[in-house]
Structure 1
């Protein structure tokens, strides 16, 4: 059986993006997230978070802070029977010019390798153009969460939906 995954950005895709979320008390799941992730698990997708956490590189908070936020997020999801297969994040600031910060695909490529995932049967869902770029560079079909359905992406085919829940309903109905 082909292993497939949904790679997910964290802030703005799974949790409310308050800007540099770095305390467990700031973790607020977006509406419909539990239903969406349960549906994806039912459809045999592994769930893997790929996130830029430049607040570390900028000195706003530490890796330990991010790890505590991620652990809290995992416990919230686990309470609903949702297990994440992995969380990968870039701790660098944009000025560091690292290889792991989205839009570069290094973290996605590493997760594909670590978990033996087929990129062509997987998706990357995020709320920023950098998520779309990273997905395309990794060979993973992108899904952009945006209320602005008129975003021009040149000739790159990008599915744009309002929410993760809206997209999972399309998948569940076999419309993808």
Structure 2
């Protein structure tokens, strides 16, 4: 019997405001634009053998702002933009739900207006990604521009969270949270840490 693949580091990334320009309830493909440094940083992760998964809340589906097909079309466009720079993401997960219990009562799709375990800060998307990619939570991280990303990472058992913090923000703090200015800075720190672990004989990869 073939043994299962060894568990490995995985980088989990939020989408809007982390990898692409944050357009509220993005609904036009022409508005999809990678943030500076993102393609190059993902290419570095690819070369280092670290899988990359996008984990994103897309409540615009539940609200009726755009169909689920558009979420998939947006992901295809992101893949095209990354491919132009020789980069790729390995997996994509999204939550289309919205819990009316959080104080909002929007008109939308009734079957998606419900509590779920996948809308961040719940860890469902992250746990699926780690399972599908044979990720070791103790070596994996979440990168995002919202506190809910960090809380989801902690709930999923990730070793750390890199919180993209913009001027004037007061993000939640925690022992596993590192504040960064951009996705590429987070990748730089993460790969450096893995490289140091490898040099210390505890396993890891070189950037």
**TM value normalised by structure 2:** 0.78
Q: Secondary structure at the match of 1:107?
A: helix
Matched, 1:55 2:60: yes
* Structure having the higher Rg: 2
Q: Give yes or no for contact 2:144–2:150 (8 Å, CA) kept in 1.
A: yes
Unaligned runs of 5+ in 1: none
Among 116, 120, 136, the residue aligned to 2:134: 116
What is the CA deviation profile of residues 97-134 of structure 1, one whole-angstrom value per residue up to 9, with x for unaligned ones?
21110000011111111121111111100000000000
Q: Give yes or no for contact 2:62–2:97 (8 Å, CA) kept in 1.
A: yes
Among 162, 168, 172, the residue aligned to 2:187: 168
State how far apart, in whole Å, the 1-side matches of 2:171 and 2:96 are. 29
Matched, 1:104 2:109: no
Among 99, 118, 128, the residue aligned to 2:146: 128
State how far apart, in whole Å, the 2-side matches of 1:167 and 1:129 are. 15
Q: Shift of residue 172 of structure 1?
A: 4.1
Aligned equivalent of 1:26 = 31
How many equivalent residue pairs?
176
Q: Could you tell which deviates more after superposition, 19-28 or 141-150?
A: 141-150
Structure 1 runs (4+) greater than 6 angstroms displaced: none
Instruction: Assess, with a 3 A threshold, how the Cα gap between structure 1 residues 109 and 149 changes in structure 2: closer, same or farther.
Output: farther
User: What is the alpha-carbon root mean square deviation over aligned residues?
Assistant: 2.0
Unaligned runs of 5+ in 2: 1-5, 101-113, 197-207
